[in-house]
């Protein structure tokens, strides 16, 4: 049956999504000059685009042409006005976010194994650190402004937590310090997945980038494998792209399950309700939606020092419950007044200010994604079900966080910078008042995950097996944050990079890095040149960023 597109374009591997994971797969798989790799990316290139490349400009990318701007459905116990930014540009969210970079904690990976993700233990996954191409390092001294220094000092003195010089040096339970970022301090540019992995290899003749091209339906090939994808280019022309080896879905925790459901792969009852023909009944697609929600407390200040890497350079971790293996409360310290949600609640925006954002590292609320209809142009419905966990853990974490933030703010030397608490204001003191404010002012740090999670054979809601293969199908895998069974305690970008590096070995059969080697304990991102030990090929630095092999 004709689908109205041009004849199939064959490649060995077709990667849907040129984001954080997709860039890693494209660079690694195309190291073999005989392997034809195609990346289908809905957004434009980031090459030479200073708006994208300058890390400190991240906040000005929100709700622009680089952002899908997905909204949430009504949140009875949270904030119904959150816009979930998902990047529409080469490099995905690593071209759009703050690039705060944490290696996942060993206990987070052990939790995955306990939930059926065999082979994702820390002894297997953490050595992939040695393969990361991104330049990851603590915020450079020139970018450490005085008020951020004083925040760290106040947090350490108030809470009796250690100063952490490098959050990636070893696992920790609490502490305050400057974050590690994937960036170049000399230029202020990102070391995103696209910059680190793709820019050096764009001249490879076996690598094709279909930019500003949207994949909107998966189809079976003649042999029954799910390896064909219908793509609409910027000119409105449809083409069917075929993977002769494997189709790799890397569109992220929103768009990967969305694409599967639009293709008829998902909960059969829901698909029929919205008018999509069922290709395969996979109940877990779109379920288990995870996030790191956080609230905000705002202070007015006088003019602040101008130097910063990205205006949220330092943070604090607290372990309230000593039974927990790691921190159970996190704070970002913003050196700008982040007031999008407090303004809506009627609070003023000071001309100068700082914020602390009590963040829930291991949120226990679970949501889901579903289709509103069969039209690929219609946004999906996102329901994070914020603050609905029956034990009240998430709500309590935010209340505790607001109280702890006030304690830190009342301590010198940070106290000397602060003029007044703007939101929620010192008049709100009870648990009930702080909970109501904290939930209504809550936001996201844009970490959706879990919507195509991997798991054991007997798990009816596991979409993937631990090899990242779509259950019940041949020829297709998923490689992005949607595969996570649970969300890592820390910001998940490095976990996505590690998962992508591991996926290359699962796809190609290449040997994994040695367990217990330097990669398990050394700092991440210490390598800039592909062809590190254990990786095939040494031509990762060939050429300069260009447009050969790229399609507009």
Distance CA 168, CA 332 (A): 17
The whole-angstrom distance between residue 215's C-alpha and the CA centroid of its chain comes to: 20
Pair of tokens at residue 194: 């696209």
Pair of tokens at residue 547: 């447009």
Question: In the block, which residue shows the tokens 């040096």?
Answer: 169
Q: For the chain, how far is it from start to end, CA to CA, in angstroms?
A: 28
Q: What integer pLDDT is reported at residue 234 of this predicted model?
A: 86
Length of the chain: 552
| Beta-ladder partners of 454 | 464
CATH number of 6-551: 3.50.50.60
Per-residue pLDDT tens over the stretch 459-514:
999 999 999 999 999 999 999 999 999 999 999 999 999 999 999 999 999 999 98
Distance CA 341, CA 432 (A): 19
Characterize 469-493 residue by residue with b for buried, 16 or more Cβ atoms within 10 angstroms of its Cβ, and e for exposed.
Answer: bbbebebbbbbbbbbbbbbbbbbbb
In 3D space, the residue among 429, 423, 421 whose CA is nearest the CA of residue 403 turns out to be: 429
Helices (H) and strands (E) in the chain, counts: 13, 25
Count of other CB atoms within 10 angstroms of residue 278 = 15
Q: What integer pLDDT is reported at residue 536 of this predicted model?
A: 31
Pair of tokens at residue 130: 């040695």
Distance CA 92, CA 497 (A): 12
Distance CA 37, CA 26 (A): 7
**Cβ atoms of residues 150 and 335 within 8 Å:** no
447 is catalytic: yes
Pair of tokens at residue 519: 């990669």
- C-alpha triplet 61, 66, 69: angle, nearest 5°: 85
Q: What integer pLDDT is reported at residue 7 of this predicted model?
A: 65
Q: What integer pLDDT is reported at residue 8 of this predicted model?
A: 83
**Cβ atoms of residues 127 and 514 within 8 Å:** yes
**Cβ atoms of residues 94 and 493 within 8 Å:** yes
Backbone angles phi and psi of 506, in degrees to 5: -65, -35
Pair of tokens at residue 486: 């649970």
pLDDT values of the chain reduced to their tens digit, one per residue, 552 residues: 334 455 688 999 999 999 999 999 999 999 999 999 999 999 999 999 999 999 999 999 999 999 999 999 999 999 999 999 999 999 999 999 999 999 999 999 999 999 999 999 999 999 999 999 999 999 999 999 999 999 999 999 999 999 999 999 999 999 999 999 999 999 999 999 999 999 999 999 999 999 999 999 999 999 999 999 999 998 999 999 999 999 999 999 999 999 999 999 999 999 999 999 999 999 999 999 999 999 999 999 999 999 999 999 999 999 999 999 999 999 999 999 989 899 999 999 999 999 999 999 999 999 999 999 999 999 999 999 999 999 999 999 999 999 999 999 999 999 999 999 999 999 999 999 999 999 999 999 999 999 999 999 999 999 999 999 999 999 999 999 999 999 999 999 999 999 999 999 999 999 999 876 433 444 444 433 333 323 333 223 333 233 323 333
Question: In the block, which residue shows the tokens 């000005």?
Answer: 60
63: left (phi over 0), alpha (psi -120 to 50) or beta: left
- C-alpha triplet 544, 546, 552: angle, nearest 5°: 160
Q: Where are the alpha helices (DSSP H) in 208-324?
A: 252-262, 268-273
Q: What integer pLDDT is reported at residue 80 of this predicted model?
A: 96
Catalytic residue among 96, 199, 292, 447: 447
In 3D space, the residue among 131, 77, 80 whose CA is nearest the CA of residue 103 turns out to be: 131
Count of other CB atoms within 10 angstroms of residue 436 = 16
Q: What integer pLDDT is reported at residue 139 of this predicted model?
A: 98
Per-residue pLDDT tens over the stretch 83-122:
999 999 999 999 999 999 999 999 999 999 999 999 999 9
In 3D space, the residue among 474, 524, 478 whose CA is nearest the CA of residue 500 turns out to be: 478
Q: What integer pLDDT is reported at residue 519 of this predicted model?
A: 39
**Cβ atoms of residues 532 and 131 within 8 Å:** yes
- C-alpha triplet 471, 472, 474: angle, nearest 5°: 95
Q: What integer pLDDT is reported at residue 544 of this predicted model?
A: 29
């Amino acid at each position: 049956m004709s689908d109205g597109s041009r004849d199939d374009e064959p490649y060995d591997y077709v990667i849907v999504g040129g984001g954080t994971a997709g860039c890693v797969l494209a660079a690694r798989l195309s190291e073999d000059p005989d392997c034809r790799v195609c990346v289908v990316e809905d957004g434009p290139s980031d090459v030479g685009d200073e708006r994208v490349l300058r890390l400190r400009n991240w906040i000005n990318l929100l709700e622009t042409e680089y952002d899908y701007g997905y909204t949430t459905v009504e949140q009875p116990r949270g904030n119904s006005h959150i816009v979930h930014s998902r990047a529409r540009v080469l490099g995905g969210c690593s071209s759009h976010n703050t690039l705060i970079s944490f290696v996942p904690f060993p206990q987070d990976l052990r939790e995955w194994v306990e939930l059926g993700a065999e082979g994702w233990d820390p002894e297997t996954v953490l050595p992939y650190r040695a393969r990361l191409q991104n330049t990851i390092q603590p915020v450079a001294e020139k970018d450490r402004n005085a008020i951020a220094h004083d925040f760290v000092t106040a947090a350490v003195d108030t809470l009796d937590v250690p100063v952490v010089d490098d959050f990636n040096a070893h696992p920790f339970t609490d502490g305050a310090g400057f974050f590690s970022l994937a960036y170049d301090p000399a230029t202020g540019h990102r070391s995103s997945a696209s910059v680190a992995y793709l820019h050096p290899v764009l001249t490879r003749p076996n690598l094709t980038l279909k930019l500003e091209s949207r994949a909107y339906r998966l189809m079976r090939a003649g042999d029954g494998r799910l390896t064909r994808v219908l793509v609409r280019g910027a000119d409105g022309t449809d083409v069917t792209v075929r993977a002769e080896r494997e189709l790799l879905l890397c569109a992220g925790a929103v768009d990967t399950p969305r694409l599967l459901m639009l293709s008829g792969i998902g909960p059969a009852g829901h698909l029929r309700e919205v008018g999509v023909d069922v290709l395969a009944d996979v109940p877990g697609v779109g379920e288990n939606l995870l996030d790191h929600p956080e609230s905000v407390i705002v202070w007015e200040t006088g003019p602040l020092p101008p130097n910063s890497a990205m205006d949220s350079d330092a943070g604090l971790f607290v372990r309230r419950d000593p039974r927990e293996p790691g921190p159970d409360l996190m704070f970002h310290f913003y050196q700008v007044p982040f007031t999008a949600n407090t303004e809506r609640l009627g609070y003023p925006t000071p001309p100068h200010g700082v914020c602390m954002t009590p963040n829930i590292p291991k949120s226990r609320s679970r949501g889901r994604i579903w289709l509103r209809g069969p039209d690929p142009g219609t946004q999906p419905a996102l329901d994070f079900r914020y603050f609905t966990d029956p034990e009240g853990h998430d709500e309590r974490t935010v209340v505790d966080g607001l109280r702890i933030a006030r304690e830190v703010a009342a301590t010198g030397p940070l106290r000397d910078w602060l003029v007044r608490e703007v939101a929620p204001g010192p008049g709100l003191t009870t648990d009930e008042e702080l909970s109501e404010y904290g939930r209504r002012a809550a936001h996201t740090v844009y970490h959706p995950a879990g919507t195509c999670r991997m798991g054991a054979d007997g798990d009816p809601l596991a979409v993937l097996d631990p090899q990242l293969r779509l259950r019940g199908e041949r020829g297709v895998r998923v490689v992005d944050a949607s595969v996570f069974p649970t969300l890592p305690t820390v910001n998940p970008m490095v976990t996505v990079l590690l998962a992508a590096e591991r996926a290359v070995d699962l796809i190609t059969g290449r040997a994994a890095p040695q367990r217990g080697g330097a990669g398990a304990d050394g700092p991440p991102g210490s390598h800039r040149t592909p062809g590190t030990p254990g990786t095939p090929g040494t031509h990762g630095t060939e050429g300069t960023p260009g447009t050969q092999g790229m399609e507009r």
